[in-house]
Structure 1
Amino acid sequence: MENNVMIDQNIEGQSEDMEVPFFTLATIIIATNNFSSYNKLGEGSFGLVYKGTLIDGKEIAIKRLSQKSGQGFSEFKNEVILIAKLQHRNHVKLLGCCIQQEEKLLIYEYMPNKGLDSFIFDQTKNKLLDWSKRFNIICGIARGLQYLHQDSRLRIIHRDLKASNVLLNSHMSPKISDFGIARTFGGDQSDKNTKRVVGTYGCMAPKYAFDKLFSIKSDVFSFGILLLEIKSGKKRIGFYHPNNKHNLIGHAWISWNEGRLLELLDECLGESCTISEVLCCIHLSLLCVQQCPKDRPSISYVVVMLGNESALPQPKQPSFFLEKDSNEGQFLTSKHC
């Protein structure tokens, strides 16, 4: 790392310069052994991610924007600006960036346990996450999202909250990552329109996927999906119950109505569960994926109610719950909401 680079930013109409640590390309090439495949950690939304080791022994993670990616300099700058301003223990820390030659690189703190998806969807590693660890992860994600929506100086909608964008440190504490498509949000706005839908279908709210309208309640919907995945160990995309042919949301909704909630739990959890916490999380997940955005709770409410013994309101019918068909589940429109 040689010096700092000044990035001119414009957020909510206010322009200011921000100082961001700048790494030279030569430093990154040495740290990654010239982007060796051996150091490849995975593939993000817009390129590859590598592990690197600086000369002083510090381990880092490098997100290398693909030159063929649809993400341009504006998205790159957006991620730099937003993450540099986010100071929360449940967000991945940005250490700096590199803009040199044809390369656009983001340098983060290294998360040794990689993504949450590598644990909950793996039939061997999922056993390393008992209920206590999963509940702590759920609470950490909720607190990180609350900071984005309410407590940070900027009001931010992530727009791509999913298991692979939640990284785990050496203590299995969760950190939200990948802010390339995140957007700031005015305090008096209820919805915001976009010309292009970006993110992961199946994890995004229906009003965003179909009407191109997003809000903080879009993130709440995604959080509800994530809650279901963490509890069940099943992926939202591609899951269909063998008996009733419903997807994960539909299966949860049916189980709720038939009083078979514990069937939603990952089999490997066994007796590690605290039943009151499990039932609370299932209840909250169904509140978060309700069809109408106005019916979904704020993430602040979720944080307060996690593990709380207080009574929760009854959830209404969720979106994307009907039987599988040629379109992988009939969509329930939310235009009247």
Structure 2
Amino acid sequence: MGRPPTPLPLSSVWALTFCLLMSLADADVDGSPALSPVPSPFSSFQNQLFPLSPLSLAPSPAEMQTMEEAHHRHYLKELTVAVVLASVAVLALISSALCAWIVWRRSRQMLDSKDIERSDTAAGGLPFGPILSKLNSLRTTSKKGLLPIIDYALLESATNKFSEGNILGEGGFSHVYKASLNGEAFAAVKKLDGGGQDCEREFENEIELLGRIRHPNIVSLLGYCVHGETRMLVYELMQNGSLETQLHGPSHGSALPWHTRMKIALDIARGLEYLHEHCNPPVIHRDLKSSNILLDSDFNAKISDFGLAVIGRNHSKGGLKVSGTLGYVAPEYLLDGKLTEKSDVYAFGIVLLELLLGRKPVEKMAPSQCQSIVAWAMPQLTDRSKLPSIVDPVIRNTMNLKHLYQVAAVAVLCIQQEPSYRPLITDVLHSLIPLVPVELGGMLRVVEPLPGANQKSSAH
């Protein structure tokens, strides 16, 4: 759709009106009509034939008053007509500008809707064209906006009746299944069974937020289904599962070299920055953890699970139920119920420690004793002589030590007990960009591959 016509500025309208009024005023400055300075031939001829004295031409005072009143009334009439016409013109221009703006807004909304429905994916993910074309054919009118309502029978068939062989993961009251649509495209279906009001609230929250959020580092919600007491959410499929599985599963992080881990940290920071700084009002995730960081086939990271997310910058105790996962919850939120964006920054710091050290946030030391990664690592993170020895063995001695110290410093700042001491996620983002190679989305230019045991600087 073309751009709407640009309305004439109001300053121009008033300028035209002023010129019109000035011309009328010039026409009758002294209350008499303007006469041509060149006398007509007839009047000259008449004066020669019938010479009259000045006294005979001078009107009486009564006549002069009558003429002035007539001229004044004529002047007021023309002025009134000019003002009315100018006002009508201004109102017409304002109305046309308003109509043009409304048309422009509607056209933009239509374009935005089309953009949302496009099947493009960022950061190298698989195209969603086959999935969205299938789901869009099932679109129905919904209060959830643009998200398709998907038929239960389709999801049941796509997951082989929700068979155990298709389970990708599970949570407190949910299971995630791999769904195949016509064998051409794949999606992830989160099936929520039971859970009561909390389950329903998280389901509604996820639809409300992910239905309008589009970002390369936030997982895409493709649609949803309501079938009796069962609620289902359909997401893009992330082929490499969660960060938790990659770090703490059977592979123990072997598929995640140093630069890939830094790229994952950068992706998470970008997703959080979008939520904190570019969403209006801001969104606080409230449950950021490695199991909610999903990885696609190229290990691009995306934040998922917005069931506990809240809108707004500050939330105090009493107005919000304390929720989250042990080990990731910020101390001020856990103890005082104070929730801000800095709570997400704390959780990000824990995830960064997981990437750096390869340890879980909370580990059992004995049947009734646990140790947090913060308590264990904090004394050693700031000691340059000890830091290299506590790094995950999979990546130990594979990075530039200067970069290792920088990442450790960022992590230490993020997990400070006092929220005001923690950096904004934007500051974290800018600290990580120079540590990630250009081809992975950062600014680091790698000169040569890092040998497995070489600690010398090979990048600048």
Could you tell me the TM-score, scaled by structure 1's length?
A: 0.82
Check if 1:84 corresponds to 2:220. Answer: no
Check if 1:184 corresponds to 2:318. Answer: no
Give the superposition deviation at 1:44. Answer: 2.8
Residue 410 of structure 2, aligned match among 280, 284, 296: 284
Q: Structure 1 residues 307, 276: closer, same or farther in 2, change over 3 A? A: farther
Tell me how many residue pairs correspond in the alignment. 294
CA distance in 2, matches of 1:212, 1:20: 33
- The aligned counterpart of 1:215 is 340
CA distance in 2, matches of 1:274, 1:71: 46
**What secondary structure, in the 3-state scheme, does the structure 2 residue paired with 1:204 have?**
coil
CA distance in 1, matches of 2:406, 2:289: 20
CA distance in 2, matches of 1:296, 1:305: 13
Alignment of 1:10-29 (within 5 A): 18-29=145-156
Give the superposition deviation at 1:247. Answer: 3.5
- Contact (CA 8 Å) 2:173, 2:194: kept in 1 or not? no
Give the superposition deviation at 1:300. Answer: 0.5
- Contact (CA 8 Å) 1:22, 1:96: kept in 2 or not? yes
Check if 1:295 corresponds to 2:421. Answer: yes
- The aligned counterpart of 2:139 is 3
Bigger mean CA offset, 148-157 vs 294-303: 148-157
CA distance in 2, matches of 1:225, 1:7: 37
User: Any idea what the Cα deviations from partners look like across 1:162-195, whole Å, max 9, x if unmatched?
Assistant: 000000000011010000010011xxx4444444
Alignment of 1:142-161 (within 5 A): 142-161=269-288
More strand by share: 1
- The aligned counterpart of 2:180 is 53
- The aligned counterpart of 1:113 is 240
CA distance in 2, matches of 1:123, 1:23: 35
- Contact (CA 8 Å) 1:52, 1:60: kept in 2 or not? yes
User: Any idea what the Cα deviations from partners look like across 1:77-132, whole Å, max 9, x if unmatched?
Assistant: 11011012111111110000001222211000001111001111136341111001
Check if 1:96 corresponds to 2:232. Answer: no
Give the superposition deviation at 1:307. Answer: 5.0
Letter in 1 for 2:205: N
- Contact (CA 8 Å) 1:133, 1:172: kept in 2 or not? yes
- The aligned counterpart of 2:96 is none
Give the superposition deviation at 1:5. Answer: 4.1
User: Any idea what the Cα deviations from partners look like across 1:290-333, whole Å, max 9, x if unmatched?
Assistant: 11111111100100112559xxxxxxxxxxxxxxxxxxxxxxxx
Give the superposition deviation at 1:62. Answer: 0.5
Give the superposition deviation at 1:152. Answer: 2.5
- Contact (CA 8 Å) 2:202, 2:307: kept in 1 or not? yes
- The aligned counterpart of 1:332 is none
What's the C-alpha RMSD, in Å, of the aligned pairs? 2.1
**What secondary structure, in the 3-state scheme, does the structure 1 residue paired with 2:148 have?**
strand
Rg larger in 1 or in 2?
2
More helix by share: 2
CA distance in 2, matches of 1:154, 1:33: 40
- Contact (CA 8 Å) 1:239, 1:248: kept in 2 or not? no
- Contact (CA 8 Å) 1:138, 1:227: kept in 2 or not? yes
CA distance in 2, matches of 1:287, 1:303: 13
Give the superposition deviation at 1:135. Answer: 0.5
Check if 1:261 corresponds to 2:350. Answer: no
CA distance in 1, matches of 2:407, 2:349: 9
Q: Structure 1 residues 143, 122: closer, same or farther in 2, change over 3 A? A: same
- The aligned counterpart of 2:262 is 135
Report percent identity of matched pairs.
35
- The aligned counterpart of 2:439 is none
- The aligned counterpart of 1:224 is 349
Bigger mean CA offset, 166-175 vs 101-110: 101-110
Letter in 1 for 2:292: N
Q: Structure 1 residues 210, 27: closer, same or farther in 2, change over 3 A? A: same
- Contact (CA 8 Å) 1:280, 1:307: kept in 2 or not? no
What residue ranges of structure 2 are gaps of 5+ in the alignment? 1-134, 436-460
- Contact (CA 8 Å) 2:158, 2:179: kept in 1 or not? yes
**What secondary structure, in the 3-state scheme, does the structure 2 residue paired with 1:95 have?**
strand
